[in-house]
Amino acid sequence: MDEEQLNNPNVQKAVNTLTIQNEAQLKEIVDRLVYQTEVTDMHTHLFSPDFGDLNLWGVDELLIYHYLISETFRWTEQDYASFWEMSKTEQADWVWKKLFVEHSPISEAARGVITIFNRLGLDTSSRNLNDYRAQWAQKSAEQQVDDVMAAAKVKKIVMTNDPFDDKERAVWTEKQGNQDSRFYAALRVDPIVNQWDQSVSKLNELGYDVSAEWETRTIEETRRFLSEWIERMDALYLAISMPGDFSYPSEDHRSRMIDDVIIPVCQDKGIPFGLMIGVKRQVNPQLRLAGDMSMRSNIEAVQNLCNRYPDQKFLVTMLSRENQHELTVLARKFRNLMVFGCWWFLHIESMVEEMTRFRLELLGTSFIPQHSDCRVFEQLVYKWEHSRKILANVLNEKYATLMQEGWVLTEAEIQRDVEDMLDVNFWRFLGKA
């Protein structure tokens, strides 16, 4: 069959429905589909170019990623303060010297930088960081966004949006907000749940009549705050990063905020509540953003939320390895619970492999295997490449055992499964597929 015939949709459909004859053909199909299927990245810290310099990209931003900063401090006795006084370029030079020149870039985050450079066509034989800087010196943010999304095969990006951030709020209130249809908003609610006392004055400043006491007016005004920002951003879900000591229900502010404000607003807007649970904030404050740690959390908090609100959708991921297995078992009990991603310290190949295996073995394809959590735009390239490789290998093994049992597989069915996990499961859970 020539190229033209093969590209004919009817011919393609027929080919897709042909049964897969052997494991070599299976592997080619699974690898191709997992590597080629464009993803929706449902949790990132990226911004569309509409947000100006909130959209972090380029060599220096890649090297001063907080994951790399904490890894670099392990190789030096330098005091923290003098590092933070350096310019971004000096910090990047310091990270490059320690993690890439004096030692091999073996860690997930360090090796990711080399994957990015290689996939985006830079010559990775150089040890001179200025060689890399020079190759991107003429690029614009818009061009890099286009090039990276094409290389990473990421078609939709969900941002993390915080109206308490003055710079970001100005883009939404004084400019047009997000105008790029490839980008979507998720409204972050950490401050009003985890730092209520500091949030009261900020909400008053923004025109919401709230007080520290948990009274009717405060509840109504906090609901108004969330509703107005969900509408302004067209937010797909509410999101929070919850400390590992989160328990629910409790006689505390968190439970009152969830019951009296967050769930009623999510129900009114018909959007999920996304919880990322298990962070232990600032165990080393001198590392700033890099100073957080993971901790084992109480899975019963998630169980109680799912039980109490069967009509509310919950997107949940957790930071400790042990919690991830419990969460996957819990997802078997609650169809309003969607497990997602290998978060933060679990976004390393050994944990992605282990988690993808037990999730497929317990949930089939009814979960969201990965999100990138990217902070710097080019990271999409390595975070998705490394994860696709693992997903392809594990999926291929599972399909092969089905074939060995005589199950007949078609390419169309594998395409459906892969699209579900990398894209459709998220939109279907939102009721938007």
Residue among 91 and 317 whose Cβ is closer to Zn ion:
317
Binding residues among 217-246 for Zn ion as defined by CB under 5 A = none
Which residue's CB comes closest to ligand HDL? Answer: 241
Residue among 326 and 373 whose Cβ is closer to Zn ion:
373
Q: Which residues contact 294 (CB under 8 A, 6 or more apart)?
A: 244, 278, 279, 280, 319, 320, 344, 345
Look at residue 253 and give its three-state secondary structure.
helix
Beta partners for 188? 239
Q: Which residues bind ligand HDL (CB under 6 A)?
A: 45, 160, 241, 276, 289, 344, 373, 375
Nearest residue to 261 via CA among 219, 228, 215? 219
When CB distances are held under 5 to 8 angstroms depending on the partner's kind, the choice from ligand HDL, Zn ion, none that residue 375 binds is ligand HDL
When CB distances are held under 5 to 8 angstroms depending on the partner's kind, the choice from Zn ion, ligand HDL, none that residue 71 binds is none
CB burial string 161-178: b at 16+ within 10 A, e below: bbbbeeebbebbeeeebb
Residues 361, 403: Cα–Cα separation, whole Å: 16
Residues 22, 252: Cα–Cα separation, whole Å: 58
Residue among 158 and 390 whose Cβ is closer to Zn ion:
158
CB of 95 to ligand HDL, least distance (A): 16
CB of 197 to ligand HDL, least distance (A): 20
* Rounded alpha-carbon distances, angstroms, from residue 32 to 26, 38, 146, 360, 424: 10, 12, 22, 19, 18
Residue among 309 and 344 whose Cβ is closer to ligand HDL:
344
CB of 239 to Zn ion, least distance (A): 8
Residue among 292 and 373 whose Cβ is closer to Zn ion:
373
CB of 375 to Zn ion, least distance (A): 8
Residue among 242 and 424 whose Cβ is closer to ligand HDL:
242
CB 191 within 8 A of CB 164: yes
CB 60 within 8 A of CB 274: no
CB of 215 to ligand HDL, least distance (A): 30
Residue among 170 and 289 whose Cβ is closer to ligand HDL:
289
When CB distances are held under 5 to 8 angstroms depending on the partner's kind, the choice from Zn ion, ligand HDL, none that residue 344 binds is ligand HDL
Q: Residue 259: CA atoms inside 13 Å, Cβ hemisphere, count? A: 13
Should residue 292 be labelled a site residue for Zn ion when binding is judged by CB under 5 A? no
Cα dihedral 402, 408, 411, 416 sign = negative
DSSP calls for 280-334? ETTSSGGGGGGG-EE----THHHHHHHHH-TTS-EEEEESSHHHHHHHHHHHTT-
Determine the straight-line distance between the first and last CA of the chain, rounded to whole angstroms: 34
Should residue 373 be labelled a site residue for Zn ion when binding is judged by CB under 5 A? yes
Which residue's CB comes closest to Zn ion? Answer: 373
CB of 348 to Zn ion, least distance (A): 15
Stretch that binds Zn ion, among 80-88, 98-106, 200-208, 368-376 (CB under 5 A): 368-376
Residue among 129 and 152 whose Cβ is closer to Zn ion:
152
Look at residue 165 and give its three-state secondary structure.
coil
Stretch that binds Zn ion, among 65-73, 75-83, 371-379, 423-431 (CB under 5 A): 371-379
When CB distances are held under 5 to 8 angstroms depending on the partner's kind, the choice from ligand HDL, Zn ion, none that residue 41 binds is none
Q: Which residue has the tokens 């009152």?
A: 256
Should residue 378 be labelled a site residue for Zn ion when binding is judged by CB under 5 A? no
CB of 373 to ligand HDL, least distance (A): 4
Binding site for Zn ion (CB under 5 A): 373
